[in-house]
A = this chain, B = another copy of it.
Amino acid sequence: MAGAPSPPSVPITPLLKDELDIVIPTIRNLDFLEMWRPFFQPYHLIIVQDGDPSKTINVPEGFDYELYNRNDINRILGPKAACISFKDSACRCFGYMVSKKKYIYTIDDDCFVAKDPSGKQINALEQHVKNLLSPSTPFFFNTLYDPFREGADFVRGYPFSLRQGAPTAVSHGLWLNIPDYDAPTQLVKPLERNTRYVDAVLTIPKGTLFPMCGMNLAFNRELIGPAMYFGLMGDGQPIGRYDDMWAGWCIKVICDHLGLGVKTGLPYIWHSKASNPFVNLKKEYNGIFWQEELIPFFQSATLTKESNTVQKCYIELSKQVKDKLGKVDPYFNKLADAMVTWIEAWDELNPSPNADAVVVNGTAKAK
């Protein structure tokens, strides 16, 4: 399905060009960007180089980017750099932190432009932006899927008071070709390919958890950014490949608490290569066990009314992680601490616009 890149047939209007950063974690040259050129070139890229910082990553000419390697991360965050994973694509969340934009799109470097059933190249970024800019419907299910898409609406029986929807915080896109399977499923079904193009966007209902994949993901940084922490994975950690899952469970609990929406479905990207299932099994091994305790934990997690910002929610959640998951494995105590460090680092790099001001009689004054 994914052929050689060819210029799109209609000129592309880059939506939110100055309000969105594309975050790419990588260990190799970014030749994959050639295929995305018509779609990504107008945007700013944040490249997070994983692994050996002395290695040079080639970025195709003409892209506007900043690149951070491990040395940069250590220099910028100092001791707090310990919360950013090494030798794992979880390091991408450093890019979310240093961005100054309202929206983030993150994609893996083995993902290419997919085609829709008519053969048209899919502008994944454009679909994500549409998803993020239209409301979600987390409080009641609409059987014709996203009622805000053209040609769709709320069906009979959908309460009118809920039709304004909720602000959309996250847009989770899917993958044609190589599906995002765990190691056991990869081992059992080595030849399975995803060829089903499902022309739908839908809101994950309030109270429902889902497996969030970081391969093709967009979100509103202002609404949910501080909760998009991809945890401690990879080098020196007893687990890998649960970075995006962890973030997905945290953001879902917090979005539910704050009345924000999470969408999944379109857009598809073309996932080119299955990772090695044996290596994956080694990384996932602990996660497969721990997950059986994590899911009930997140399903029953509730946050207090006082947690009325993402940061406060995240700190409250980190305490619950320590209290309730610390006994599953000491790793979760370390992770809970890293969650706090992450928020401290986030706030350091993203000072609130009013942090230096006090409000006196309704008028903001510099301290």
Contact = CB atoms under 8 A, between A and B. Distances in A.
Contacts of A153: 179, 181, 185, 189, 192
Contacts of A295: 140, 159, 162
Nearest to A246: B157
Contact of A199 (B142, B196, B204, B213): B196
A143 interface: yes
Interface in A95-153: 117, 140-145, 149, 151-153
Interface string A186-209: 000100111111111000111111
Contacts of A143: 172, 174, 180, 210-211, 213, 264
A179 B295 CA distance: 37
Interface residues of A, number: 59
A143 B172 CA distance: 9
A1 interface: no
A30 interface: no
Nearest to A138: B208
A194 B196 CA distance: 20
B157 A211 contact: yes
A140 B295 CA distance: 9
Given A145-B198, A205-B208, A291 B174 contact: no
A189 B147 CA distance: 13
Contacts of A245: 156-157
A361 interface: no
